[in-house]
Amino acid sequence: MRIAVDAMGGDLGPRVAVVGAASAVMADPELDIRLFGPAERLEEELSRLPRRLAAASSHLSVENASGEIRQDQRPAQALRQGRDSSMAAMLGCLARDEADAGVSAGNTGALMALSRRALGTVAGVSRPAISTAIPTEGDGRCYLLDLGANVDVEAARLLEFALMGDIMARHMDDLARPRVALLNVGVEGAKGAASVQRADERLRCCDALDYIGFIEGDGIFAGEADVVVCDGFVGNAVLKASEGLARMLVRRVQSTFEAHWTSRLIGLLARPALARLRRELDPVRYNGASLLGLDGIVIKSHGGADAAGFHYAVARAAQEVQHGLPRRLGDELQRRRSTADSAVVRD
């Protein structure tokens, strides 16, 4: 399986991408990863791989790309000036079918703009959405979209997001009929912005979905839905708040057990359970968001992710390749469009 990686996009430099890619190869030897960035710098990082990851080197290759897109660069500027960047080179490799998926921790707006130009969208999707899975009660997970690509959206686009999220949940998690909900400030029918109210009306008319109505923020983590749809501003706020809360809880539990000698003794006895809790709450395990709706697989890693987080983003890309997600998405959206037409009136 061929994965193209923009090694220069993250906040912590290329070492994170190189070590994370090597770690992913050690977990899945079927991967072959092409790293895009300044060749000399990437070769140096490869030479510094820890001994436990050295065997991955034969599955890692370097493709020189001298340019770099800054985190503060505007998407329009990236489109005009970013053709020699590691991000554009990675996407070009994907567009030429020389890779099965691409991964980047770079500028989200630039990645979306360059991806749309390089790959296009499937089945007439108006604009891709960013989606990721977040943990819920009972070892479940919920797909939340959009997470920042579309800050101000109309009802028609929210319906489109719901259709894409439903298809992803069915194929990635083998759910026969995912429960789809619309994020709102309350479950009462009269609440919410006008666009959310209109989206609710259209979703109720869409027989292709198991639409369960409005959901509040706490319902996401309670596992009340498998897919939750919202605009990008709200979705990004929910995601970042949940990540911050998870880290705070882990630190608070740890400091509580270290506060006194008696609690330290109890902490020693509870160490296996605490380690399990830390793993379950760690946002790193859920790193890797899909740019859903593209005619290709592009995974956005968190810009501040460490090597372990980048490993999970690469693994997420491999999972979507295994499930043939863009092809399935395009095929099913085409079939469903006729069903949804009665509910969708393009704004």
Burial group, residue 56, by CB count within 10 angstroms (0-12, 13-18, 19+): buried
H or E stretch at 253: helix 232-257
Q: At CA 13, angle to CA 9 and CA 18, rounded to 5?
A: 90
Identify whether the C-beta of residue 150 lies closer than 8 Å to the C-beta of residue 234. Answer: no
Q: How far apart are CA 330 and CA 266, in angstroms?
A: 54
Q: Where do you find CATH 3.40.718.10 in the chain?
A: 2-125+293-323, 129-283
Torsion of CA 325, 208, 148, 82, to 10 degrees: 40
Q: Which pLDDT score, from 0 to 100, does residue 63 have?
A: 96
Provide the 10 A C-beta neighbour count for residue 226. Answer: 25
User: Using N-to-C axis directions, what is the helix angle for 232-257 and 261-269, rounded to 10°?
Assistant: 110
- Parallel, antiparallel or unpaired: strands 129-136 and 140-145: antiparallel
Give me the CATH topology for the region 129-283.
Isopropylmalate Dehydrogenase (3.40.718)
Q: Which pLDDT score, from 0 to 100, does residue 271 have?
A: 67
What distance lies between CA 169 and its chain's CA centroid? 13
Burial string for 256-265 (b: 16+ CB within 10 Å, else e) reads: ebeeeeeeee
Identify whether the C-beta of residue 111 lies closer than 8 Å to the C-beta of residue 74. Answer: no
Longest dimension (CA), the chain: 66
Q: How far apart are CA 322 and CA 2, in angstroms?
A: 11
Q: Residue-wise pLDDT tens for the chain (347 aa)?
A: 999 999 998 888 899 999 999 999 999 999 999 999 999 999 999 999 999 999 999 999 999 999 999 888 898 998 998 889 999 999 999 999 999 999 999 999 999 999 999 999 998 888 899 999 988 887 788 999 998 888 878 888 999 999 999 999 999 999 999 999 999 988 877 777 888 999 999 999 888 899 999 999 889 989 999 999 999 888 888 888 887 887 787 777 777 777 676 766 666 766 676 666 666 666 667 788 999 999 999 999 998 889 999 999 999 999 999 999 999 999 988 887 655 554 444 44
Q: How far apart are CA 165 and CA 211, in angstroms?
A: 12
Residues composing the chain: 347
Give me the CATH topology for the region 2-125+293-323.
Isopropylmalate Dehydrogenase (3.40.718)
Long-range CB contact pairs, 313-316, < 8 A, 24+: 313/20, 313/103, 313/105, 313/287, 313/288, 314/3, 314/5, 314/20, 314/21, 314/24, 314/31, 314/33, 314/103, 314/288, 315/24, 315/27, 315/28, 315/288, 316/287, 316/288, 316/290
Q: What's the token pair of residue 106?
A: 């770079």
Q: Which pLDDT score, from 0 to 100, does residue 239 have?
A: 85
- 144 forms beta bridges with 132, 228
Prediction pTM value? 0.88
